[in-house]
Structure 1
Amino acid sequence: MPIKTAIAGALGLMLAGCTGVPDNIEPVQGFDADRYLGTWYEIARYDHSFEEGLENVTAEYSLNDDGSIKVINRGYSTEEGEWQEAEGTAKFVEDEETAHLKVSFFGPFYASYVVFGLDRENYQYSYVTGYDRDYLWFLSRTPTVSDEAMDEFREAARANGFDLDGLIIVDQDRNE
């Protein structure tokens, strides 16, 4: 097998793995993207280099003309003393009623966005992971949540195999 074919195949498998779903995690079914659009506040997360040191993090979702979803993630860098913003695009991996999307902030490279928990009645809370359990977010329509809502998130995350030792509660106190 030519080396280019082997490299292309390995790269394809690697990238496909980044848009998968963690074992035993079920994306929300009956998902309504129109109800999910709008602003979400990051309540808790695992920290990663792309969000390290950010507080007051929000995600804004809106519909693009081509049917994909525009994603604007915004947060305040305490180290740099300024707001940072990243714009990306999300597309459904399966169908529009399955809350498994792939999101790209860097050209052709996509990563999974899997909603595995959702307040289906009001779309006020969302539990999100990536292609593996190294990614976890608790999103809310409001910048703060009740202790009960936080307890429900922790319970659901543990039940789905997440280790909460590295969970960060996001400060949402800064005004623009």
Structure 2
Amino acid sequence: MSGNIACVTALLVTGLAVTRAQVPALGPCPEIKTMNSFDLDKYLGMWYEAERYFALFEFAGKCVSANYTDMGDGHINIINRQTSYLTGIRSTIEGVVRHVGRTDDSKLSVKFPSLPVLVDAPYWVLGTDYENYAVVWSCSNFGLFSTRNAWILTRSRYPPLEIMEKAYSVVDKYGISRAYFIRTDQKNCPSFAY
């Protein structure tokens, strides 16, 4: 029995390292239907991270933002920025967003070419009104377990409660646990030129 526990523990640790410490769960990713008639052009532009699940790549991150730009060649560019609240160091990572299926489907994937391991990370928009909020989900299967991540993004660095309530209604609709959300500090942020 202890050999089985050690094996599962090793799998979890390995999986966590690969997925940058997203929230682990026993069993496969849940079946989640994304929103219909997604319009990527309306989604473009600046988004601020209001809340997120813990992820190692965002450890100690504050002032997190993402800017999506149509490159005109069929590719969508994403620039993610954050500042470490421990060191004050600003960091930027650039990636490419693409549709996984149909162009009106909100199942996307993101790839960051500067990372040592090139992985297409799931990026599913579960709900958005394009002007105020978006709820994004990511889940990857690793045999006996899966790793899950969720973000609430807003167009405003300081969204009003009514906007957050709309985002929470999407989270609740899909049965995503609010227990793992961490509020992102957006105070005293430097201005980035995108």
Equivalent residue for 1:86, pick from 80, 89, 93:
93
State the TM-score, normalized to the length of structure 1.
0.80
Find the aligned partners of 2:69 and 2:88 in 1 and give their Cα distance.
Answer: 27
> Is the deviation greater in 82-91 or in 124-133?
124-133
Contact map agreement 2:109 2:120 (CA 8 A) in 1: yes
Equivalent residue for 2:163, pick from 116, 135, 149:
149
Contact map agreement 1:44 1:167 (CA 8 A) in 2: yes
| TM-superposed deviation, 1:27 | 1.6
Could you give the per-residue CA deviations for residues 6-29 of structure 1, whole angstroms, max 9, x where no partner exists? Answer: xxxxxxxxxxxxxxxx53322222
Give the RMSD, CA atoms, in angstroms. 1.9
Residue 132 of structure 2 corresponds to residue 118 of structure 1? no
Contact map agreement 2:36 2:104 (CA 8 A) in 1: yes
Could you give the per-residue CA deviations for residues 36-81 of structure 1, whole angstroms, max 9, x where no partner exists? Answer: 1110000111110011110110000001242111011001111221
- In structure 1, stretches of 5+ residues that fail to align are 1-21
Find the aligned partners of 1:123 and 1:33 in 2 and give their Cα distance.
Answer: 13
> Is the deviation greater in 133-142 or in 55-64?
133-142
Q: How does 1:3-152 map to 2 (within 5 A)?
A: 22-105=29-112, 106=115, 108-119=118-129, 122-131=130-139, 134-152=148-166
> Is the deviation greater in 88-97 or in 25-34?
25-34
| TM-superposed deviation, 1:158 | 2.6
Equivalent residue for 1:166, pick from 169, 173, 180:
180
Partner SS, residue 139 of structure 2: coil
State the TM-score, normalized to the length of structure 2.
0.73
Pairs aligned (count):
154
Find the aligned partners of 1:152 and 1:141 in 2 and give their Cα distance.
Answer: 13
Q: Give me the identity figure in percent.
A: 31
